[in-house]
Chains A and B, each alone.
Chain A
Amino acid sequence: MSETEPAGTPLRLVFDGHALQARPGVSLLQAWIAAGLPLTENVGCMGQGVCGACRVLVRRPGERIAGTALACEMPAEEGMQVSFIDHFPARRPHAYDLSALTDSWSIPDQIDAVFPEAKHCRHCSGCDRACPKGIPVQRMVNLAAEGQVFAAAELFDACVMCNLCVAACPEHIDPAHLGQFTRRMHAALTLRPADLMQRLRQIEAGEQPIDLDAPGASPPVQT
């Protein structure tokens, strides 16, 4: 499939109410730009697929239900109906102070106190369908509600913060933020590399001076 450039007739699609044509092979975001439409939001990394900004609803011909995707990653297809999904804040913030979380025996209580909705998951898997990265979001929610921090954190390794799962959840669990809570807890409470700690001790003891006038800090003398 990589041998020849896709050629032939332009694709027709409808994007935010605009009927537009696109070259085969371009992403939905590139189709929007090529159509001359203004782009001032819902855009970030332009194709790397890491920033989660260009969220869209997509419906293909013959499909009854619209799905979600990232416009920079989804190729344009004939007959697609597409609309950007604006960003909106979560219904209420799930507030916590990571630095105050010092008692790791209380982790299940902490998760329940900050995300009390997590234990009310209806198993509707709306979050799973919403995730453009294929993360088993619902499983992460269930694991986190049981205090299984490492397992939950690992499932959210590929999260790009698009927050589509937050929009999808009828119980307002805010899975994306719950996933980050487990990931941040995982690092902040358990990552203690010995080499880093040794170097910090040396620096604090004044054993790592920097000599601004060392021979290696100036260009080699030309001969």
Chain B
Amino acid sequence: MTDGGMSGGIGFAAALAAWDAAAPAPARACGLKVADLLRGFHPDHRPGGMVQLVAGPNEGAPCPAQLAALLQSDSLLEDVDLAGATILDADVLVLGGGGAGCVAALAAARAGARVLMATKLRMGDGNTVMAEGGIQAAIGAEDSLQRHFEDTLRAGHFAADKALVAALVGDGPDAIRWLVREGMSFDLADERQRMGGALLRKKPGGATAARLLSYRDFTGLELMRALREAVLLQPGISVLDGHPALELLTDDRGRCGGAALQDLGQRRLVLARAGATIMATGGAGRLHLAGFPTSNHYGATADGLVLAYRAGARLREMDSFQFHPTGIAWPPHLEGTLISEAARSAGARLVNGRGERFVEELAPRDVVASAMLRELAEGRGVGRDGKLGLFLDTPSLEREQPGILAQRLQTLSHLAHRAGFDPAREPFLVRPTLHYQNGGMAIDTDGRSALPGLLAAGEVTGGLHGRNRMMGNALLELVVFGRRAGASAAADARQERPRNLGLNHLAGWRRGLLAAGLGLEAKGPLLFPPYGNVTPQDLRRHAA
């Protein structure tokens, strides 16, 4: 994969010598205003990267070309495919089995709903389990909900929905208590003080207070372990692994009433009918927008966005993606894998091929990533075996805080071991990696979309992060809005049920595609990335 504008950089041996001679690296002034840095170097602003959507609820809005092609694709299904399909009924259908899906399923089941959870891979597989850094909640005495609210808005360039952000930060402390009740652990400032005492707090990039709570540097794994057991043991939830959604079902009044699922094991179609459907399908990193590697899990292919958009749900900020500053650039077999912001939070510096610091490491992620891309574009990167990156100076961090790599940055040390070097002696080679979809489905504070019967939670939603997400707000979002959407869905399912379910929205959708001159050849959703060596059409063929 290539992304244009990168020159060869400085050779690894020369760069290593420059780093070694200068460490700890002296800072070089940036010389550019933040707005100019973002405009010049953030991938969202790449010339020709965005196209205008010409069909659907967001007609006229900018969107990355690869995503637009999927959003404006035709269905994989025809009415005839539904005949004879297996039918399952539930009160609430949850699409997606990551963090948001699990929280939503638990909340709906505990509100009395019969819940069906359908997931493409396996319950628990998703980006949540891979989250490393932590979860934000304003619990410090010097901190406040108001500060968390304003920090989130500012980091998102004031593009977020204020009511959503207020709901997010306002539920924050209660979300932490909820997680502890589910059996999730958190790091303490003093491990002996389990009753009383204080949670360990770190400062996320762009924050005005130490607000990031964590469990070592695998917070998402700890969260997901507790949630997975909770879902498995919760009466009233049935889990269907290996059942990606191919289409939403709509009734003759345009209300969403479930989804058509492809049973990958039996190669058959299943119609899951429900009073309310919660979209919790996560993000789009595996589309490798702008040719970037990604830190996302295998299933992050924007399926939920495609289905919701086609059925009439409005999206927002679809032209805004987060590139995490520190993905691995070398060795190639770990390319794109994330090194947590916890490393920079702890004090690790970013250093270019000349041995210089070039950015305040804890500035917001979009600023740090843009500054890194600028170094690479202007020839100050480090080249190694054809890969280009910048140094993450772990040896200086270890010298300044002996033992930190082994005790607090275990995942990082484990990655270095797999890359074949000692992070206490040699710096990592890193570069920005496609990490998070800032925008998504527009929702209200109860998690409802504009399409009746369809709710959403987690990364698939938009409006919470504006145009740049703060570290630690993604895990918080999935808990807060998973709970809200689950409770709303259980309530909605008690209302009048959808009737005459089918693919009622497709006729109008296809008319729209043809009217826009797009044709019906392109099909979606994608389900698996191209290197999965299988298309949805392959999976539909040989159907029993």
Contact = CB atoms under 8 A, between A and B. Distances in A.
Contact of A44 (B153, B216, B297): B297
Interface in B142-190: 144-146, 149-150, 153-154, 157-158, 162-163, 166, 169-170, 173-174, 176-177, 180-186, 188
A223 interface: no
B130 A51 contact: yes
Nearest to B385: A5
B408 interface: no
Interface stretch (B274-282, B347-355, B419-427): B419-427
Interface string B201-218: 000000000000000101
B181 A44 contact: no
B141 interface: yes
A50 B419 CA distance: 16
Interface string B288-303: 0000000001110000
B527 to A, nearest CB: 8
Interface residues of A, number: 66
Interface stretch (A34-42, A58-66, A121-129, A137-145): A34-42
Given A190-B194, A195-B139, A185 B225 contact: no
Interface in A156-207: 157, 159-161, 177, 180-181, 183-188, 190-196, 198-200, 203
Contacts, number: 199
B121 A36 contact: no
A180 B232 CA distance: 12
A203 B172 CA distance: 10
A40 B331 contact: no
B528 interface: yes
Interface string B113-138: 00000000110111001100000011
A25 B333 contact: yes
Contacts of A96: 233
Interface stretch (B69-77, B502-510, B532-540): B532-540
A45 B129 contact: yes
B126 to A, nearest CB: 8
Q: How large is the interface on B (under 10, 10 to 19, 20 to 34, 35 or more residues)?
A: 35 or more
Contacts of A85: none
Contact of B232 (A93, A188, A209): A93
B180 A194 contact: no
B532 A218 contact: no
A191 B194 contact: yes
Contact of B298 (A25, A46, A198, A209): A46
Interface in B385-443: 385, 411, 414, 418-421, 426
Nearest to B334: A47
B449 interface: no
A181 to B, nearest CB: 8
A45 to B, nearest CB: 5
10 contacts: A40-B264, A93-B232, A157-B216, A186-B183, A191-B180, A193-B188, A195-B198, A196-B137, A216-B153, A216-B154
Interface of B: 121-122, 124-126, 129-130, 137-141, 144-146, 149-150, 153-154, 157-158, 162-163, 166, 169-170, 173-174, 176-177, 180-186, 188, 194-199, 216, 218, 220-221, 224-226, 228-230, 232-233, 241-242, 264, 297-299, 331-334, 337-338, 385, 411, 414, 418-421, 426, 528, 531-534, 538-539
Given A180-B226, A184-B182, 4 more contacts: A2-B331, A39-B528, A184-B226, A192-B195
